[in-house]
Amino acid sequence: MAEKNVTFVLDKNLGLPTDQEPLKGILTAAGVTAEATTDLVAIDERLAGDGPDIAYVPGADFCRLMLQGNQAYLGLVIATSKFTGEPGQRTLLVVRRDDPASGIGDLAGAEYGYMNESCSSSYFPPAILLNKMGERLDEFFTMKEVAGWQERVDAVVSREIRATMILQDVWKMTPRNPENAKVIGEYAPSPPAILVVRKELDGRVVSALREHLLLWRPDWRNIYGAFRPYCFADVQTFYHDLGELPADIRSPRSFDHR
């Protein structure tokens, strides 16, 4: 189908199984070579440069790309909540069940766990909530990277960190969570992962990819549910809130050289 090899880079944390059927066969048939990585800095550097042709990234990354004036990519499909079928989710501020805190304002100086500086559910939501209070994320919290999704809730329970923010779907997937932890705040709507394509990518590849992805049925254990067509309206509120953040919070320090 494709006249040249089509490159596809994706954030491995987002759980899109491109190395498994049926996605593996779909991509192979379209001439697409997929590369999954957890190096978000490298992904963003490539998106800011001359490639890849396709990317599957956190919604925050795509919003940040648009805010930077990068018009090379278009949203193709957007992930949804497997419980509601909608793209936007609540992301919940979580502490231990016995923590006296009743809101984010009670957590000044606390050790806060986040996945990475591209995370739409654990990095940017607290930054947005605090910005509305006139506070800076990096001054209000002691920030600590904690890999994984449910693993961050477990880190709260084990006192490795005092607080984190986690997608509501992830919270609901583990029945023991309300027994050991509690929710004291939230941000919504947190944008899900988005699959984007370069504007000049062969239209036949784009059409075939969209068709197959919209028919794909994810495993029930996946973080996200099925795809639906991307629409800017699904991320517009977050895009606005992201734009209001200080530039050095919106773009991590690892990008200062740009």
In this structure, what is the dihedral angle of CA atoms 107, 41, 15, 217, given to the nearest 10 degrees? Answer: 110
pLDDT for res 29: 86
CATH of the domain at 230: 3.40.190.10
Contact status, residue 164 vs residue 94, Cβ threshold 8 Å: yes
Alpha carbons within 13 angstroms on the beta-carbon side of residue 203 total 0
Please give the C-alpha separations between residue 106 and each of 13, 67, 160, in angstroms, as whole numbers: 30, 32, 18
In this structure, what is the dihedral angle of CA atoms 81, 210, 65, 19, given to the nearest 10 degrees? Answer: 80
pLDDT for res 246: 94
Q: Where are the beta strands (DSSP E) in the chain?
A: 6-11, 32-37, 54-57, 73-79, 89-96, 111-114, 142-145, 163-167, 181-190, 194-198, 227-229
Q: Which of 162, 190, 218 is the last residue of a domain?
A: 190
Are 80 and 195 within one domain? yes
Q: Which amino acid is residue 180, in one-letter code?
A: N
Q: Which amino acid is residue 12, in one-letter code?
A: K
Alpha carbons within 13 angstroms on the beta-carbon side of residue 104 total 23
* Residue-level pLDDT, tens digit, the chain, 258 residues: 445 689 999 999 898 999 999 899 989 988 899 999 988 888 988 998 878 999 999 999 999 999 999 999 999 999 999 999 999 999 999 999 999 999 999 999 999 999 999 899 999 999 999 999 999 999 999 999 999 999 999 999 999 999 999 999 999 999 999 999 999 999 999 999 999 999 999 999 999 999 999 999 998 889 999 999 999 999 999 999 999 999 999 886 443 322
Are 95 and 145 within one domain? yes
* Cα 257 from Cα 19, distance rounded (Å): 34
Are 76 and 11 within one domain? yes
* Cα 251 from Cα 258, distance rounded (Å): 10
**CA–CA–CA angle 192, 124, 78 (5° rounding):** 15
* Cα 227 from Cα 231, distance rounded (Å): 12
Are 96 and 74 within one domain? no
* Cα 159 from Cα 96, distance rounded (Å): 8
pLDDT for res 255: 38
Are 97 and 176 within one domain? yes
Comparing CA positions, the residue from 105, 248, 92, 245 lying closest to residue 183 is 92
Are 133 and 10 within one domain? no
* Cα 225 from Cα 170, distance rounded (Å): 12
Are 80 and 32 within one domain? yes
Please give the C-alpha separations between residue 216 and each of 18, 24, 77, 211, 230, in angstroms, as whole numbers: 12, 12, 12, 9, 15
Are 178 and 201 within one domain? no
Are 159 and 128 within one domain? yes
Q: Which of 165, 190, 215 is the last residue of a domain?
A: 190
Instruction: Name the packing angle between helices 124-132 and 236-243 (round to 10°).
Output: 60
Domain-located, residue 219 = yes
Are 58 and 179 within one domain? no
3-state secondary structure 45-83: HHHHCCCCCEEEECHHHHHHHHHCCCCCEEEEEEECCCC
Domain-located, residue 1 = no
Q: Which of 172, 190, 208 is the last residue of a domain?
A: 190
**Boundaries of domain holding 93:** 89-190
Are 159 and 101 within one domain? yes
When computed from its CA atoms, the radius of gyration of the chain, rounded to whole angstroms, is 18
Q: How many domains does the chain have?
A: 2
pLDDT for res 253: 45
pLDDT for res 41: 84
